[in-house]
């Protein structure tokens, strides 16, 4: 949903180009310039703190321009569309637009438009899962499962290259349940390199928790609710953040350099400043503040007070 406006319409490839399997990391990053604004059409949202209006699935957002760019891209947060800024399709938009449908946009064919609306959310799940598997392969300590991860990556990549009908018929929930144990194993191998106690807060309710300066190295924070948590100066190196809810969490001065399975969307949903240390694969969100006062160093504290 995060489409910068442009004065020139997107140039698309010829309709009958061969399908391409996604295996490289750049292909798992959203490229709005080659997408037909699918997230702005296919996905529904309700008026809330994250969205200023209610929109049904299949209904184009009123801010989507005829060139498939967002008319308020530079003011999404100010206009009440914070939810758009934290959405990440993991490259599914350009895959559906340019590969699955060969550059045919949804304006041209209503039947294709309906199919695109069905395929896009499924492709997004495939790309997200592919991103996690690719990230797991980047963990040196996960070497013992690299062969299985490679096989999983090739399998998922082949699915992303399928026809629209094939993708629409996939059971992504079953696929995720099959791959998740492998990702968990990779995480365990990586976190095992941290000496000492490794906190287990999997699925924990840590909403508003005071974790300033906490030593969370190697922690299991999968699915943890960290909404508005105070994580200033916390050490989150090699912490597994799969699915952790970081909305409005304060990451000022935190060390996330080796955080496991941390996504760009999670960062964008949080608050921080220039002192927050990030993995090299992620970028500092534009709404984060410049550097403020020095934050407390991480202490040997892993649970909220």
| pLDDT digits 0-9 by tens, 58-94 | 999 999 999 999 999 989 989 999 999 999 999 999 9
In this prediction, residue 305 carries a pLDDT of: 41
Cα distances (angstroms) measured from residue 91 to each of 31, 80, 97, 121, 211: 6, 24, 10, 12, 34
**Tokens linked to 144:** 């013992």
For residues 272 and 168, give the distance between their C-alpha atoms in angstroms, rounded to a whole number. Answer: 39
In this prediction, residue 213 carries a pLDDT of: 97
- pTM value is 0.86
Q: In the beta sheet, which residues pair with residue 230?
A: 210, 250
In this prediction, residue 17 carries a pLDDT of: 34
Q: Judging by beta carbons within 10 Å of its beta carbon (0-12, 13-18, 19+), is residue 248 exposed, middle or buried?
A: middle
User: Are the beta carbons of 268 and 289 closer than 8 angstroms?
Assistant: no
Q: Looking at the predicted structure, is the pLDDT value of residue 15 above 70?
A: no
State the average pLDDT over residues 274-301. Answer: 80
Average pLDDT, the chain: 89
| pLDDT digits 0-9 by tens, 101-110 | 999 999 878 8
3-state SS of the chain is: CCCCCCCCCCCCCCCCCCCCCCCCHHHHCCCHHHCCCCHHHHCCECCCCCCCCCECCCCCCCCECCCCCECCHHHCCCCCCHHHHCCCCCCHHHHHHHHHCCCCCCCCCHHHHHHHHHHHHHHHHHHHHHHHHHHHHCCHHHHHHHHHHHHHHHHHHHHHCCCHHHHHCCCHHHHHHHHHHHHHHHHHHHHCCCCCCCCECCCCECCCCECCCEECCCCECCCCECCCCECCCCECCCCECCCCECCCCECCCCECCCCECCCHHHHHHCECECCCECCCCCCCCCCCECCCCCCCCCECCCCCC
**Domain span(s) for CATH 2.160.20.80 in the chain:** 200-305
Nearest to 284 by CA among 272, 298, 301, 294: 272
In this prediction, residue 243 carries a pLDDT of: 97
CATH entry 2.160.20.80 includes domain 200-305: yes
Could you report how far apart the first and last alpha carbons of the chain are, in Å?
A: 38
For 154, phi then psi, to 5°, come to: -65, -40
For residues 175 and 161, give the distance between their C-alpha atoms in angstroms, rounded to a whole number. Answer: 16
**Worst-scoring range by mean pLDDT, 103-107, 181-185, 241-245, 261-265?**
103-107
- Please, which pLDDT band fits residue 221 given cuts at 50, 70 and 90? very high
For residues 199 and 296, give the distance between their C-alpha atoms in angstroms, rounded to a whole number. Answer: 20
In this prediction, residue 18 carries a pLDDT of: 33
| pLDDT digits 0-9 by tens, 45-64 | 999 999 999 999 999 999 99
State the average pLDDT over residues 18-34. Answer: 69
Q: Looking at the predicted structure, is the pLDDT value of residue 301 above 60?
A: no
């Amino acid at each position: 949903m995060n489409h910068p406006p442009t004065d020139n319409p997107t140039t698309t490839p010829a309709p009958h180009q061969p399908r391409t399997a996604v295996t490289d990391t750049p292909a798992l990053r959203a490229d709005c310039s080659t997408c037909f604004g699918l997230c702005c059409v296919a996905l529904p949202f309700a008026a809330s703190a994250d969205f200023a209006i209610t929109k049904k699935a299949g209904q184009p957002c009123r801010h989507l321009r005829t060139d498939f760019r967002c008319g308020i891209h530079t003011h999404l947060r100010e206009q009440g569309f914070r939810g758009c800024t934290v959405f990440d399709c993991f490259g599914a938009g350009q895959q559906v637009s340019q590969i699955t449908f060969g550059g045919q946009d949804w304006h041209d064919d209503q039947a294709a438009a309906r199919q695109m609306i069905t395929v896009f959310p499924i492709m997004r799940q495939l790309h997200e899962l592919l991103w996690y598997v690719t990230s797991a392969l980047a963990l040196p300590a996960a070497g013992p499962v690299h062969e299985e991860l490679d096989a999983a990556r090739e399998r998922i990549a082949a699915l992303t290259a399928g026809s629209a009908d094939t993708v629409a018929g996939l059971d992504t929930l079953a696929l995720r349940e099959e791959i998740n144990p492998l990702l968990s194993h990779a995480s365990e191998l990586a976190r095992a390199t941290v000496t000492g106690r490794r906190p287990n807060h999997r699925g924990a309710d840590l909403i508003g928790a005071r974790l300033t300066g906490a030593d969370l190295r190697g922690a299991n924070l999968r699915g943890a609710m960290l909404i508005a948590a105070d994580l200033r100066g916390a050490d989150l190196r090699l912490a597994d953040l799969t699915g952790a809810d970081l909305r409005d969490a304060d990451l000022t001065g935190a060390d996330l350099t080796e955080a496991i399975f941390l996504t760009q969307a999670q960062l964008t949903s949080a608050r921080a400043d220039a002192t927050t240390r990030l993995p090299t694969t992620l970028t500092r969100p534009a709404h984060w503040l410049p550097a403020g006062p020095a934050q407390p160093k991480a202490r040997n504290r892993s649970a909220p007070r």
